């Protein structure tokens, strides 16, 4: 049998120090990040390269720039240090050579792993969970969104406090420090527990108001549409495109951008699809694989509202080579939240980026481009048709 060590394989993709020094002037203020990743067997449904690419996107979305990536292929996670000891040594040398601000690990680290790595590397350490929480903290605008992020952040930090519980490890400033109130560095366990209870109370109030609004909407009989899908699929772009061709009430476009998690708070507008069919359309937060459990819970209410809609438009970026895996991630979450399959229309967006495709989309789906406008009228027709089918179901005599 092969020795376990023989299976270890590692490689470094590091730019040379000189190259790293010649960074773009606009990148000067960005936090310089080394990514450290572990490629374990059975890594999951996504190819590892895509997973790493997405992590780089998350670092950029949080305001950092990746200067090097270090990967270790290994059978399993090392419980004390996440990577194997030898690889941690290698990482230490890389840190000394490139002098980054931060090292980001590709998965959530246990409190013990985080502490050990901080001691061994003597630098700010972040993991994928805190990275996502930080992006959410930067984007949250509504009171509810801010409360949800703060709750998730505190729940993540509580078991990671040091010693007397008054030190928040080496977070300092920058990525990973946003979203948990003014007194970030003086937080102690008692304060955090009290604050968690307080946030939960406030959120319960917000949620009951939300449920009330939902009931009022249902009573008013107006149909609802929600845009859901993987982050960066083009939900906000489609939302804007539909609002601009359908007569709408409520002004302003929502922001669309290639940054991951551009949208955090939901936005709803009333649009007229023609033929007297008015609907409320809602843009929502994007999905991502392995969403931190603290956030899944925190955003449950936001997603619940989306799931409750009469129709869900599942927006897919068909130009993404990994789109099938991403469909899988979204469908799994939708199923967990109890969304009914027959209320979902799959919208294959960004067809303008495809060289050639056959125009016949699978049943219950549609091809379009939110950017060029191609296929939008067909989508509106399909929505009207589906909502009318819904109505005729309701008045069926038997
Ligand atoms: N070529 C092309 N690009 C598109 C199209 N739709 C959206 N995009 C681009 O894709 C990127 C992401 O678009 P968004 O609308 O912000 O995507 P989103 O799903 O709302 O993303 P999050 O809010 O981050 O979850 C932006 O750079 C858009 O300009 C399209 O039909 N064609
Ligand atoms: Mg968006």
CB-based contacts of 217, cutoff 8 Å, min separation 6: 224, 280
How much distance in Å is there from the Cα of 138 to the middle of ligand 2?
Answer: 14
Q: What is the mean pLDDT of the chain?
A: 82
Residue 299 has pLDDT above 90, yes or no: no
Could you say which ligand is closest to the alpha carbon of residue 58?
1
Is the CB of residue 298 less than 8 Å from the CB of residue 258?
Answer: no
Mean pLDDT of 204-217: 82
Structure confidence at residue 397 (pLDDT) = 38
For ligand 1, atom 8, the nearest C-alpha belongs to 234
Structure confidence at residue 298 (pLDDT) = 66
Q: Can you list the pairs that 13-17 forms with residues at least 24 positions away whose Cβ atoms lie under 8 Å? A: 13/68, 13/69, 13/70, 13/71, 14/67, 14/68, 14/69, 14/70, 14/94, 14/98, 15/67, 15/68, 17/97, 17/98
Could you say which ligand is closest to the alpha carbon of residue 260?
1
Could you say which ligand is closest to the alpha carbon of residue 234?
1
Site to substitute for ligand 1 among 139, 227, 228, 234, most atoms within 8 A of C-beta: 234
For ligand 1, atom 9, the nearest C-alpha belongs to 234
* 321-345 tens-digit pLDDT: 889 999 999 998 898 888 888 999 9
Cα separation, 10 vs 279, whole angstroms: 53
Residue 125 backbone phi and psi in degrees, to 5: -115, 130
Residue 78 backbone phi and psi in degrees, to 5: -80, 120
Structure confidence at residue 68 (pLDDT) = 97
What band does 360 get if pLDDT is binned at 50, 70 and 90? confident
Q: At the top level of CATH, which class does the domain 222-393 belong to? A: alpha beta
* 37-70 tens-digit pLDDT: 999 876 555 588 889 999 999 999 999 999 999 9
Structure confidence at residue 185 (pLDDT) = 43
Mean pLDDT of 2-16: 39
DSSP labels, 337-375: TT--GGGEEEEEE-GGG-S---S-PPTTEEE--TTT-TT
Q: Which atom of ligand 1 lies closest to the CA of 370?
A: 31
Q: How many residues does the chain have?
A: 398
Structure confidence at residue 111 (pLDDT) = 93
* 136-169 tens-digit pLDDT: 888 888 888 888 889 998 888 888 876 444 444 4
How much distance in Å is there from the Cα of 127 to the middle of ligand 2?
Answer: 24
How much distance in Å is there from the Cα of 285 to the middle of ligand 2?
Answer: 6
* 92-131 tens-digit pLDDT: 999 999 999 999 999 999 999 999 999 999 999 999 999 9
3-state helix, strand, coil in the chain (%, to 5): 45, 20, 35
- This prediction has a pTM of 0.83
For ligand 1, atom 14, the nearest C-alpha belongs to 234
Site to substitute for ligand 1 among 136, 228, 236, most atoms within 8 A of C-beta: 236
How much distance in Å is there from the Cα of 263 to the middle of ligand 2?
Answer: 4
More confident residue, 5 or 260: 260
User: For domain 4-135, is the CATH number 3.40.50.11060?
Assistant: yes
* 10-25 tens-digit pLDDT: 444 444 444 444 445 4
Q: Which of 66-75, 228-237, 361-370 has the lowest mean pLDDT?
A: 361-370
Structure confidence at residue 62 (pLDDT) = 94
Cα separation, 86 vs 8, whole angstroms: 11
**Full strand arrangement of the beta sheet holding 344-349:** 247-249, 267-272, 278-283, 223-229, 311-317, 344-349, 365-367
How much distance in Å is there from the Cα of 21 to the middle of ligand 2?
Answer: 34
Cα separation, 33 vs 116, whole angstroms: 19
What band does 188 get if pLDDT is binned at 50, 70 and 90? confident
Cα separation, 231 vs 228, whole angstroms: 9
How distant, in Å, are the alpha carbons of 58, 121, 172, 380 from that of 113?
21, 12, 19, 51
Cα separation, 396 vs 15, whole angstroms: 67
How much distance in Å is there from the Cα of 163 to the middle of ligand 2?
Answer: 40
What band does 251 get if pLDDT is binned at 50, 70 and 90? low
Residue 231 has pLDDT above 70, yes or no: yes
CA angle 354, 358, 362 (to 5 degrees): 110
Ligand 1 proximal residues by C-beta, below 6 Å:
229, 231-237, 256-258, 260-263, 286, 349-350, 352-353, 369-371
Is the CB of residue 319 less than 8 Å from the CB of residue 348?
Answer: no
Site to substitute for ligand 1 among 135, 136, 231, 237, most atoms within 8 A of C-beta: 237
Q: Which atom of ligand 1 lies closest to the CA of 287?
A: 25
């Amino acid at each position: 049998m092969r020795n376990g060590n023989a299976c270890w394989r590692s490689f470094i993709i590091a730019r040379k120090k000189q190259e790293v020094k010649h960074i773009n002037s606009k990148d000067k203020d960005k936090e310089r990040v080394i990514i450290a990743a572990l490629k374990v067997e059975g890594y999951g449904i996504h190819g590892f390269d895509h997973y790493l690419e997405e992590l780089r996107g998350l670092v950029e979305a949080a305001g950092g720039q990746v200067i090097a990536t270090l990967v270790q292929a290994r059978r399993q996670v090392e419980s004390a240090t996440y990577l194997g000891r030898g690889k941690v040594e290698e990482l230490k040398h890389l840190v000394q050579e490139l002098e980054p601000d931060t090292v980001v690990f590709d998965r959530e680290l246990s409190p013990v792993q985080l502490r050990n790595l901080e001691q061994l590397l003597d630098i700010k350490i972040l993991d994928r969970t805190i990275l996502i929480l930080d992006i959410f903290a930067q984007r949250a605008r509504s009171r509810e969104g801010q409360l949800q992020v703060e709750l998730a952040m505190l729940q993540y930090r509580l078991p990671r406090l040091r010693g007397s519980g008054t030190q928040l490890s080496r977070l300092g400033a920058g990525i990973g420090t946003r979203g948990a109130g003014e007194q970030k560095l003086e937080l102690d366990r008692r304060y955090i527990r009290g604050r968690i209870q307080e946030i939960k109370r406030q959120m319960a109030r917000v949620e009951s108001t939300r449920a009330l609004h939902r009931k009022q909407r249902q009573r008013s009989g107006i149909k609802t549409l929600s845009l859901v899908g993987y982050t960066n699929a083009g939900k906000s772009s489609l939302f804007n495109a539909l609002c601009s061709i359908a007569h709408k009430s409520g002004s302003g476009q929502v922001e669309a951008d290639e940054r991951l998690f551009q949208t955090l708070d939901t936005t709803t507008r009333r649009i007229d699809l023609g033929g007297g069919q008015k609907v409320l359309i809602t843009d929502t937060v994007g999905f991502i694989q392995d969403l931190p459990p603290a956030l899944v819970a925190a955003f449950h209410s936001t997603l619940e509202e989306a799931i409750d809609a009469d129709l869900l438009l599942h927006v897919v970026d068909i130009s993404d080579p990994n789109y099938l895996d991403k469909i899988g991630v979204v469908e799994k979450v939708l199923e967990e939240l109890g969304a009914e399959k027959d209320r979902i229309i799959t919208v294959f967006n960004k067809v303008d980026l495809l060289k050639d495709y056959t125009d016949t989309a699978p049943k219950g789906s549609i091809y379009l481009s939110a950017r060029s406008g191609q296929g939008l009228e067909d989508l509106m027709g399909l929505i009207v048709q589906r909502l009318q089918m819904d109505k005729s179901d309701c008045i069926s005599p038997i």
